[in-house]
Every structure is written in structure tokens, then in C-alpha cells.
Chain A
Amino acid sequence: MKKIILLTVIISSILLTACANNKSNEPVTISYMVWGAPEELEVWQTIVDEFQVANPNIKVNVEVSDWDTYWTKLKTLLAANTPPDVFAMDAPLYLDYQSRGVLLNLQPYIDKTSGFLDGFYPVTLEAYKLSDGYYGMPRDFQTIVLFYNKDMFDAAGVAYPTADWTYDDLRAAAKDLTIDIDGDGTIDQYGFSADLWDMELVWSEAIWSWGGEVINADHTKTLIGEPAAREAWQYFYDLMFVDKSMPDANTTGQYGGDLFQAGKVAMTSIGHWAVPGYATVDFKWDVAPMPTSPTGGRATSVNSAGFVVAKESKYPDAAWEFVKYCLSETGQKRLTELGLAIPVLESVANSPVFLNQSMVDINQQVFLDSLAFAKMKPVVKGYDEWAAAIGDGMAPIWLGEAELNPTLDEVVPAADAVLEANK
């Protein structure tokens, strides 16, 4: 027994001194956590291996989990005060973490690296910028564009969407592309479909192009019930229940997955993350910018995923080195190979690595050009709950169980109450 105690004392003292004596040349191990599909681990591992060649003293343990598991695991680790040193962040949720003091202010590091922010798309930095600096860095971003099934357009003799399209053109084309192929009274092919729960996929874009807003500047008022916004909502309502060119939520539900990928719908609006999945389909497709509204406005949504460093990290210097490497041209090029997103460095986005991706032959330039009229997906404290108040609240409309305007009248105050509670 005495021997065991002695051994424990020796081992723990070795461990303790190892921690205390960490100088820059001592090897350290940092952990990095990110959401993603299992195959993404391979790409991250390549980046880490290349990073370790340049920084032999920093070992990085990467852990990739699916989206839901990621957030549960992350919150548990943060609650236990053992967070990963570096972890991935979705921009809309950034404030929920930053405001609770678990993120490290990266400004001192950015200041030490001259010209570090120069090559970034400015709009991607906007989400992370606070009055006292950056508590996170964007890693890649998404603009929402219109995806269309070329084969369906050809078969119906409808002209492909162009950059001059208005939402009226979209509506007309969607109508022509809605077909009951076998004549049994059930529609087999729909014109347009997009998720109406989350704002990012279509409805924030529409509200902005009609000249409306989603939320006010100081995040105290939800503006989706204002007159301009109501016109945008009405547009989707008409598509769904007047033209029946957009499937309602009950119809969408029975396919379980993505209707565009399933070859059930001619057009959808989604981000670059859908590209690897769509690259596996056996029909031809391409992308076009989001249309302009009847009032002449045009907008799309831009959202980014990023890196943050835990405030409790024991090795913030090593963590920053890793973040810096991933945001360098070499790191960004590797990340672009995943094909899931657009690199935040302008030089990489405009290079063949992004523009000529081998996985699929589409007009990648559309994703970059969309930035010209893109608005940032709101970064709001209490985002999940606020988005749920809107998404859950509006859901009965898309199920055909509630009217548009009375529902909006209920949803707006409910969403405002969430904003008030999360102030």
C-alpha cells in the first residue's frame, strides 16, 4: 500500500512539473473539436499533419462529431471546465458563447501578426467583430444561391434561370415545372422547394429583397411581421397553396431528405454545403444567383463557420498557431478541397482550388458574385431559442393548418419575448 502511495506521489509530481514548466519549445498537445461528417475527419487530419510538420512541438488531437452531438458534447465539456482548446463555431451562435465568457479574445494575437486580416472577405469578419476585438475567426462561409435541375428544365422546355431573374420569373417557371407525370392526381414533380423553418435557406433572402428586415439593429424587435416582410411571406404562401408548385411540409416530410437531391423538385435554394451531396446525383444541375424582388431589391444570406479558442485553454499560444495555420493559404486550400464551403481568403476563393473543383462542373463563380448583395445571417444572443420561436411558430402555416397573417401576429411577440429574456 505504501508503495502505491509513493508511486502516485511520484507520478503526479512528474505530471505537475510537466505542466508548470511548459516553455515554447516543450511539446504540447491541444485538442480541436469540430462538427462534420466522418469523412471530414480525414481532411482535418491532413491539415493537422501538415501543421505538425511546420510546428513539431504542437500535437493536435482532432475530434469530429455530427452537428447535434457536437453542441451537446461541447456544452458538457465547457460546463465541466475542460473545453477543447480550439473549437468550431457557427456564427449565429457566437454571441451565446462569447457573452458567457468562455471564449478567448484573439485581438492581442491578431495585433501581433501584421496584415493578418487583409486577405479576408470583410463580410465574413463582421460576424465576429466586437467592440473589444475578435473572439473568433471565420474559417469558411456560405452564400445561398438558386440550384436548378437542368434535365427538368430541358424536359419542360423552360429557359434556365439567369442573373436577371425576378421572383415572378421564378414563380412562373416553378408553375411550368410542377407536373403530375403519371396523371393520377398527385403531383410528382414540384417547381421549387426550400426549407422554411430556418431563415437562412430562403425566407430571410426574400424579406431582404422585398426591402424588409428580420431583426432590428439592437436585437430587441423581430421585424418579420412588417409590411414588406409580409409580402415576402405571402409569396411563399401563394407558391405553396395557390400555385401548388412548392410542396407543403407534410409532403416534404414523407421524403425525409432533400427533395432536390431526390430528383423531386426542379429548383431549390441552399448553400455550398449541399454541393458534395448533389455531386452524386445522376441528373445535370447548375446554380444561379437568387432572384430580385418585384420591388427591384436583391439579397442573399451569408453565414460563416469559424474557429474560437477556449478562455480556459492551457496553451492559448499553441491554439492560436493552429488557427493561424488553418487560415493561411495552405490551410485554406486544404479546407476548400472538402467542397463544403467557400474559403474566407479572397485569394483562395478566386483560385482554381475553389473555382474548378473536380467533384462537379458548375458555375462556382455564382457563390462569390452573390457576396455583392449578401447580408449577414443575424448573430443574436439566444439565437436557437429565437429561431425556434419563429420556426416552430410558423410551421403550422406550411402544414396547411394555419393562416399566414394571424400566425405572424402571434409569432412576432413570442419571438420578441425570447429576445427580451436573452438580453
Chain B
Amino acid sequence: MEYGLKPLGRERFWLLLLLAPTLIGLIFGAFGSILATIILSFMKWDLLTPPTWAGIENYIALFTNEKFNTALTNTIKFSAMYVPGVVIISMFVAILLNRKIKGVTVFRTIYFLPCVTSAVATALIWNMIYGKDTGILNYVIQHLGGQSICWLCTDKAMMSVVIVNIWGAIGEGMIIFLAGLTAIPREYYEATKVDGANEIQQFFRITIPLVTPSIFFMTLIATINAFQAYDYIYMLTRRSQGDSSVPVVVFSIYRNAWNFFNYGGASAQAIELAIIVIVLMGIYFWMEKRFVVYE
């Protein structure tokens, strides 16, 4: 498939010139860092003395590093709950807000608000909601006759942070799904209505197939975000000195690099995380070919 017009002659020069700032930033910023991380993952480096070659030592250490494996398990569990949660809920919200109802812009703004609010500030609010003895949520539960729940205790903390992360990402997902939904031509609905299809049939036969590109894109974004999730988790589950009751891989990378003088090990962890994401992306793109409908 080809899009748009091909730049010709002088246009090509201007095109490159205008893209240069971004491209140079990408080459040195992103690709440079990726390359440096790959090289450092084969080195032993404490940041203060020159790095020495370590071969695959850092990678072997990953298998025996209990803390890293706990973190990796947590990241995978987190992603397994977060990704479907975000995709389904934000699609649902987008469908609800894709109609002519009064004050639809207000609702859309409200759902988008968490995306533009500081994660640290909102996490503090969530802390007040989740508190065991002082929290708003338990206050409500108790008044309804229920028992207080320790939302941020180790057994529930994972679920609680997943909820906050989903809540924080609905806005972004909603925008993506709204774009997908508004692109569906109204004629399809009108034509099927004439043919006698009800709303449920329309939803499964028209809406879902035609938003599959959005579902695909959102799943991709959500997966990447899930593997990088840090701010809400940190604010809600942190303990002293960078420890957390739900330590995810990002915690482990940060602590190894900056607290434990183990930059090489941290790089290896980052690379392993990247490989997992790349493999998942591969699977997604394979699925895209089979299930995603482009008009």
C-alpha cells in the first residue's frame, strides 16, 4: 500500500532539511542510546572506573538474580491485566462518547484529564483513596456494611496499581478509538439498518471489524507502556530506598544502574525487556495480517 504523494526534485531537499532535526535527534538520542546499552550490557561498568569486557556474564546473572526474576514476573503479570483492560475499557468509553449526547465534550475532557495531569499528583490522590484506615474507598465500603480492605498490601497491590494505570490510560485510548470510530462511514449502519440488522449485530459485524486497526494500534501502545510502567507504581507502592511492594523491571534497572554500581547488569536487564517487547510486537504484527481489516 502506498500513501500520499512522492516528493520530487527540490522538494526532496526541503523534506530532508525539515526532517533533519528530528532525524538527528533520533539517531543520536534513541539509536545512540540503544547501541550504547547493547554494548554496555556486555561490559562490567560501575560508572566511575573504565568499563571492562564481561562477555555474556551479565546475561547469565539474570537467570540467577532472584530480584530481577520477581520484577520480570511482576511486569508480565501487570501487562497481562493492564493491556486487555485498557483496550476494552477505552474502546467501550469511546463508543459511549461517540454519539450526539449533551455535554459530550465535557465527558471527553474528563476522561482525557488523567493524561495531562502529573502522575505524581494523581497517585497521591489515589493513595488517599486506597488508604486502609484513612482511605475514601474503605470509608464507603464500611458504610455499605463491608469490611475494610488493605488495597495496597502485597496481595492486593498489583490489582490496585493496575486499576490506577488503566484509569490513567483510558483518555489516550479513547482518543485513538474515537478517531477509528468516526472514520466508519455512516452509510454502513444505514444500509444494514435497511436490511434489518439490530444494534448488537451492527456492533459485532460493522463496528468491531472496522475498528480492528485501532484495537491493533492501541494494543501495541498499551503493551509498550505496560513494560515501561513506573510512575504510578512507584508512587503507590514505594518503600524505602527505591524498593517497592510491586517491583517491576524498570525499578530493577534503575536500582542496579544508579544504586548498585552495576550499569552493565542494568543494561542487560533493559535489553532483555526490549527483546520481550520485540517478540510480542512480532506476534502482534503476525496477528495484524490475519485479523485486522483495512478498508
Question: How far is it, in angstroms, between the C-alpha of A101 and the C-alpha of B49 when the chains are bound?
Answer: 8
A388 touching B255 in the complex, CB below 8 Å, given contacts A75-B47, A197-B243, A399-B154: yes
Identify A399's interface contact among B47, B245, B259, CB under 8 A.
Answer: B245
> Is A251 engaged at the interface, CB distance under 8 Å to the other chain?
yes
Contact: A97 with B48, CB < 8 Å? yes
What residues of chain A lie closer than 8 Å to B262, measured between beta carbons?
Answer: 385
Q: A100-B46, A198-B241, A250-B132 are in contact. List 6 more A-B contacts (CB 8 A).
A: A101-B49, A197-B241, A253-B239, A254-B132, A254-B152, A395-B243
Is B189 an interface position by the 8 A CB rule?
Answer: no
Q: How far is the CB of A247 from chain B (nearest CB, A)?
A: 10
A160 within 8 A of B: no
Q: Which residues of A contact B67 (CB under 8 A)?
A: 392
List chain B residues, Cβ under 8 A from A102. Answer: 48
Q: B153 contacts which chain A residues (CB < 8 A)?
A: 250, 399
Please give me the 3 A-B residue pairs with the lowest Cβ-Cβ distance, nearest first.
Answer: A197-B240, A254-B131, A100-B48
Q: How far is the CA of A388 from the CA of B239 in the complex (A)?
A: 11
Task: For the complex, give the distance between the alpha carbons of A76 and B45 in Å.
Answer: 13
Residues of A within 8 A of B (CB): 71-72, 75-76, 78-79, 96-97, 100-102, 186, 195, 197-198, 249-251, 253-256, 382, 384-385, 387-388, 391-392, 395-396, 399, 401
Contact A249 B239 (CB under 8 A): yes
A79 touches B135 (CB 8 A): no
What chain B residues lie within 8 Å of A385 (beta carbons)? 259-262
Q: Given the known inter-chain contacts A72-B258, A254-B134, A384-B260, please indicate yes or no for A392 contacting B243, CB distance below 8 A.
A: yes
Residue of chain A at shortest CB distance from B46? A100
Q: Are A388 and B152 in contact (CB-based, < 8 A)?
A: no
Q: Does B133 contact A (CB under 8 A)?
A: yes
> A197-B241, A251-B133, A254-B127 are contacts. A79–B48 as well, Cβ < 8 Å?
yes
Question: Closest CB-CB distance, A102 to chain B, in whole Å?
Answer: 5
Q: Which residues of B contact A391 (CB under 8 A)?
A: 239-241, 243
Residue from B127, B242, B243, B260 having most chain A Cβ neighbours under 10 A: B260
Contacts of A195 in B (CB 8 A): 240
Q: Judging by beta carbons under 8 Å apart, are B239 and A250 in contact? A: no
Q: How far is the CB of A405 from chain B (nearest CB, A)?
A: 20
How many A-B pairs have beta carbons closer than 8 Å: the answer is: 79
Count of interface residues, chain B, beta-carbon cutoff 8 Å: 29
Q: Which of the listed residues A97, A253, A256 has the most CB atoms from chain B within 10 Å of its own CB? A: A253
B152 near A250 with CB under 8 A, answer yes
CA distance A397 to B150 in the complex (A): 16
Complex contact A71–B258 (CB within 8 A): yes
| Cα-based distance from A249 to B242 in the complex (angstroms) | 15
* Minimum distance in angstroms from A415 CB to a CB of chain B: 13
> Can you name 17 A-B pairs with beta carbons within 8 Å?
A72-B258, A75-B48, A96-B261, A102-B48, A195-B240, A250-B153, A251-B132, A253-B152, A253-B239, A254-B130, A384-B260, A385-B259, A388-B260, A391-B239, A392-B239, A395-B243, A395-B245
Expressed in whole angstroms, the minimum distance between the Cβ of B222 and any Cβ of chain A is 28
Give CA–CA (A197, B242) in the complex, Å.
11
Across the interface, A100 reaches (CB within 8 A) one of B49, B131, B260, namely B49
1/0 per position for B111-151, CB-CB distance to A under 8 A? 00000000000001001001111110000000000000010
CA distance in complex: A101, B47 (Å): 12
A388 to B252, CA, bound (A): 12
Return A72 CB to nearest CB of chain B, in Å: 5
CB distance from A182 to the nearest CB of B (A): 11
Hey, what's the 0/1 contact readout for B259-277 against A, CB within 8 Å counting as 1? 1111000000000000000
Chain A residues, CB < 8 A from B134? 254-255
Q: How far is the CA of A34 from the CA of B67 in the complex (A)?
A: 31
Q: Give Cα A97–Cα B153 distance, bound, in whole angstroms.
A: 37
Pick the residue among A79, A97, A388 that contacts B243 (CB under 8 A): A388
**Which B228-285 residues have a C-beta within 8 angstroms of A?**
239-243, 245, 255, 258-262
Residues of B with C-beta under 8 A to A255: 134
Q: Is the CB of B47 within 8 A of A395?
A: no
Nearest CB in chain A to that of B153: its residue: A250
Residues of chain B within 8 A of A256, CB atoms compared: 124, 127
Shortest CB–CB separation between residue B279 and chain A, in angstroms? 30
Say yes or no: A198 contacts B240, CB within 8 Å.
yes
Bound-state CA distance A72–B253 (Å) is 13
B239 touches A197 (CB 8 A): yes
Chain B 30-68, CB within 8 Å of chain A: the 1/0 string?
A: 000000000000000011110000000000000000010
Min CB–CB distance A258 → chain B (angstroms): 13
Can you name the residue of chain A whose Cβ is closest to the Cβ of B49? Answer: A100
